[in-house]
Amino acid sequence: MELPDRETCYRALQSRDARFDGLLFVGVTSTGIYCRPVCPARTAKRENVRFFASAAAAQEAGFRPCLRCRPETAPDMASWRGTSNTVSRALALIADGALDADNAGVETLAERLGIGERHLRRLFVQHLGASPVAVAQTRRVLFAKQLIHETQMPMTEVALAAGFGSIRRFNEIFRELFHRPPSALRRRFSTSPELGVTLNLRYRPPYDWDAMLAFLQARAIPGVEVVENGSYLRTIGMDGATGSVQVRHLPERQSLRVTIRFPRAQSLPAIIARVRRVFDLGADIETIDAHLSLDPLLAPFIAQRPGLRAPGGWDGFELAVRAILGQQVTVAAARRLAEQLVVSHGERVESDPRLTHVFPEAQHLAMANSINVGMPAARRSALKALAEAVAADPNLFRPFGTIEEAIARLRTIRGVGEWTAQYIALRALRETDAFPAADIGLLRGAEVVDGARPSVPNLLLRSESWRPWRAYAAQHLWAAGSTYA
């Protein structure tokens, strides 16, 4: 994403314009510090500021994070850098640890994206102003800084959770950046560690929390998920361990408060990445809605629902299973089928009476003699084929190549047709332009919007003007038709 002109950036800094929070960062040459544009500190002179498209670019230029406005708490806009889907996919992989110390480097990352390494580096410099490695390193530092500020985790666990190879390297980097040890950044007013790790994740408003909760509640699998008292809870099964996560809304802080109870500190970044995906925290919803509102018939429906997000899937395999269970049945029926599957094949947990099971893993279903779910044999066969495909390729639901390549790849799985592939791309792969045009709910919503139900080819033709945000147009069509897919 290109930055606005320098004068616009400086006016945003002067007025502390929250619309630019997460979209640009400000380096102050007289102090060597970089800030968010909403920083409450006295505004630096024009000649003493530089503007950057990302925190990584500011840090790579030699600036250190501000301790007052805390750049790590800015809305994470990197995930939607929609002028380059390749960059968005790469950032999702980096968030999953693709460039951590124990993983392969930029060349392998580029291969997974289907492009050359030099081209990937050019795209990162163009859209983020920094190299892939610098982006990964900055994310690591800022996540560690947030854990230090907001939790009482021991420093060794903070280093582990943030992906540092050693506590020594962790201490060295913080001394280089902040001229003090990590422990000196910790707040002193909290005296008793709370149960679990609680962090605030910021978003860019508006955010339709009620619609998000309604979507999740309608699909909540008993024993795995609970929506109650305005919050979302679910079990976690990851890295051979189990735990839970709770998500609440803090509208006054434009944040979600996430409490994670999980025994492995190393898994925290992956869990938080999943929360961001499910709740679509990286979307610049104002930009998306403004684009979709150019369609005069769609505009009134978008005005009725500002902040409507495109909910993601917690896990790619789980979401794909849900999609197959939902073929040609209602949402409520699919939920009952999912409950049967979980009771028969999910691992039982005892930590919370409301949360009794974790969703079954692909390897378990692939090896199961039978899948005891009350649905047609062809669909049970499709579930088996899906589980076997994921067991053979654990990266099946991670970003790879273009959306067309992703759809084609998914459709090679027995029982996965165009609708299912598009739905998986929308929810699991987070493809902003995925569009399951044959969905009956979409067609019903299009009828409400246009006054007549279109054919699938006509709806696809109509959707061309909604690119690259057709996934969000789909949410508005489902809402207009008083249903969600």
- Rounded to two decimals, what is the model's pTM? 0.90
9 has catalytic annotation: no
283 CA to centre of own chain: 9
Q: What is the pLDDT along the chain (485 residues), one digit of tens a residue?
A: 568 899 999 999 999 998 899 889 999 999 999 999 999 999 999 999 999 989 999 999 999 999 999 999 998 765 444 456 788 888 888 887 788 755 568 998 898 888 899 999 999 998 888 999 999 999 999 999 999 999 989 999 999 999 888 899 999 999 988 888 999 988 765 444 457 899 999 999 999 999 999 999 999 999 999 999 999 999 999 988 999 999 999 999 999 999 999 999 999 999 999 999 999 998 889 989 999 999 999 999 999 999 999 999 999 999 999 999 999 889 999 999 999 999 999 999 987 889 999 999 999 999 998 888 888 999 999 999 999 999 999 888 887 778 888 899 999 999 999 999 999 999 999 889 999 999 999 999 999 998 899 999 999 999 999 999 999 999 999 999 875 44
352 has catalytic annotation: no
- The answer for 180, left when phi > 0, alpha when psi is -120 to 50, beta otherwise, is beta
Domain 315-431: CATH superfamily is Hypothetical protein; domain 2 (1.10.340.30)
Give me the residue spans of the domains in the chain: 6-73, 77-185, 315-431, 435-485
Which residue in 35, 39, 66, 69 is the catalytic one? 35
Domain 77-185: CATH superfamily is Homeodomain-like (1.10.10.60)
Which residue in 21, 289, 433, 439 is the catalytic one? 439
Query: For 6-73, CATH number?
Result: 3.40.10.10
